[in-house]
Chains A and B, each alone.
Chain A
Amino acid sequence: MAEYELDCMGEACPIPLMKTEKKMETLVAGDVLVVHIDHSCAMKNVPEWARKQGFNVEVEEVDDGEWDVIIEK
């Protein structure tokens, strides 16, 4: 049940999604990954991808235009 963080601030689509994909491969079931993003497009496609993979996903708006996508494998 480890928690990892992934900093994707300032990264445009599709970098956050691809980084998340890579990072998720290294996680084991039950681990949580928190992805920090500030690109509105990633706020949509990262959760969408993760949900389609069957992961548990939550999105939190941390600040104006900054989000945390919390993914549980």
Chain B
Amino acid sequence: MSEPSTPIVRKRATASRKKKRNQIPFGFLVFALMIVVGILLSMRESALGMFWLFGGCFGFILQKSRFCFTASMRDPCITGSTSVTKAVLVAFALTSIGFTAIKYSAFAAGQTIPGQSYIMPISIATAVGGILFGIGMVIAGGCASGTLMRVGEGFTMQMLALLFFVIGSLWGAKDMGWWTEHFIAGAPRVFLPDVFGWLGAIVLQLLIIACLFVAADLWERKKMGTTEGE
């Protein structure tokens, strides 16, 4: 769509508006505070400082980019827009390459591969949990990271969502042992490089992501009859 050059004519003038407070000094103050806290944390334990730094960067990027996992799954159904879906797929592809690089370099050097404890069993519980989480995040207006980000922005409703998110997580953690024992324990754990080899695993994963990307693009064309940048 070409941007029209003429501004929209509004009947009411929007002159009666509060003068905005300059937020830049606060920004610098918070930034300085974050550095101080980061230094204090890293003096306690070096890993803590790094977590703090990554957390801060992650939050900043998430807020500025308005990256939203909820929107990536929800918008295709509501409006047919898949721009966020495609962004998530690109992020998946990049992290796949990054994690393969980290894991393979450890494997090639004969060290223990990091993060192998995060390979979770696949069972019916995964699918059921996914559906429950999906329903919850659309109602709450954000997934875990999105909710945290909007609490930071000061959106009141999502503070409520965060409160119940914490309650739910605690409850889940309390009963996790029982669920693991009865439903999850017997399920298979799959580490793709064990099945397809290192190259096969990454190629297969990227191929699947590419197929999803094409599907998302076609979906948007079909539902909206157009796509961004046209």
Q: Which residues of A contact B (CB under 8 A)?
A: 3, 10, 12-14, 17-18, 21, 32, 34, 38-41, 43-45, 48-49, 51-54, 56, 58, 60, 62-65, 68, 70, 72
Q: Are the C-beta atoms of B23 and A52 separated by less than 8 Å?
A: no
Closest 7 CB pairs of A and B: A12-B141, A44-B66, A72-B8, A3-B11, A13-B141, A49-B79, A52-B224
Q: How far does the Cβ of B158 sit from chain A's closest Cβ, in whole Å?
A: 7
Query: Which of B1, B63, B74, B157 is in CB contact (< 8 Å) with A51?
Result: B1
Q: Are the C-beta atoms of A21 and B146 separated by less than 8 Å?
A: no
Q: Are A12 and B1 also in contact (CB < 8 A) when A32-B10, A41-B150, A56-B8 are? A: no
Q: Are the C-beta atoms of A3 and B12 separated by less than 8 Å?
A: yes
Q: Are the C-beta atoms of A56 and B10 separated by less than 8 Å?
A: no
Query: Which of B17, B20, B21, B74 is in CB contact (< 8 Å) with A14?
Result: B74
Q: Are the C-beta atoms of A40 and B78 separated by less than 8 Å?
A: no
Residues on the A chain within 8 Å of B4, using CB: 56
Q: How far is the CA of A38 from the CA of B157 in the complex (A)?
A: 11
Q: How far does the Cβ of B118 sit from chain A's closest Cβ, in whole Å?
A: 29
Q: How far is the CA of A52 from the CA of B68 in the complex (A)?
A: 19
Q: How far is the CA of A68 from the CA of B154 in the complex (A)?
A: 18
Q: Are the C-beta atoms of A70 and B70 separated by less than 8 Å?
A: no
Residues on the A chain within 8 Å of B81, using CB: 45, 48-49, 52
A3, A34, A40, A49 — most chain B CB neighbours (10 Å): A40
Contact-size category for B: 35 or more
Q: How far does the Cβ of A38 sit from chain B's closest Cβ, in whole Å?
A: 7
Q: Are A13 and B7 also in contact (CB < 8 A) when A49-B79, A52-B81 are? A: no
Q: How far is the CA of A62 from the CA of B18 in the complex (A)?
A: 8
In the complex, per-residue mask of B79-103: 1 if CB is within 8 Å of any chain A CB, else 0? 1010100000000000000000000
Q: Are the C-beta atoms of B141 and A39 separated by less than 8 Å?
A: yes
Residues on the A chain within 8 Å of B146, using CB: 41
In the complex, per-residue mask of B135-175: 1 if CB is within 8 Å of any chain A CB, else 0? 00010111000100010011111100000000000000000
Q: Are A70 and B71 also in contact (CB < 8 A) when A12-B157, A41-B142, A65-B154 are? A: no
Query: Which of A14, A38, A48, A56 is in CB contact (< 8 Å) with B155?
Result: A38
Query: Which of A3, A18, A49, A63 is in CB contact (< 8 Å) with B18?
Result: A63
Residues on the A chain within 8 Å of B45, using CB: none
Q: How far is the CA of A40 from the CA of B18 in the complex (A)?
A: 19
Q: Are the C-beta atoms of B66 and A40 separated by less than 8 Å?
A: yes
Q: Are the C-beta atoms of B7 and A58 separated by less than 8 Å?
A: yes
Q: How far is the CA of A52 from the CA of B63 in the complex (A)?
A: 23
Q: Are the C-beta atoms of B11 and A41 separated by less than 8 Å?
A: no
